[in-house]
Amino acid sequence: MPPPNIERFEVLIVDDEPETCDVLSEHCRSRGLDASVAQDGRGAIAAIERSPARYSVIITDLHMPGADGFEVLKSARAANPSAYVVMMTGYATIDSALRAVRAGAYDYLPK
């Protein structure tokens, strides 16, 4: 059950690994949050552009086919600058972490 006084917001989870999407969405829902899933960057960008204010938090993988996490980040920041974008990757490097934060990511997490 979510804590009282928590503002309702929706999380968009973007990853090409279905298991990761399932785990993260279940975690969000268990905390009383709404969660949507996009299986790739192009789907995430389309969802963000359809409803720019819908997602308060976007958790995106860095390496995906089609559009990568940096493209999702760029789209999210352009559509809704107040959204928090968290980048995650199984291939974390200092360079990509710095690039992500400089581009406006709220956080950068290794998987």
Strands ordered across the beta sheet of 55-61: 34-38, 10-14, 55-61, 84-89, 107-110
Are 59 and 88 spatial neighbours (Cβ–Cβ below 8 Å)? yes
Separation CA 35–CA 29 (nearest Å): 7
Q: Which helix (H) or strand (E) holds 59?
A: strand 55-61
What does the pLDDT profile of the chain (111 residues) look like in tens digits? Answer: 455 545 668 999 999 999 999 999 999 999 999 999 999 999 999 999 999 999 999 999 999 988 999 999 999 999 999 999 999 999 999 999 999 999 999 999 999
- pLDDT value at position 7? 61
pTM (whole model) above 0.85: yes
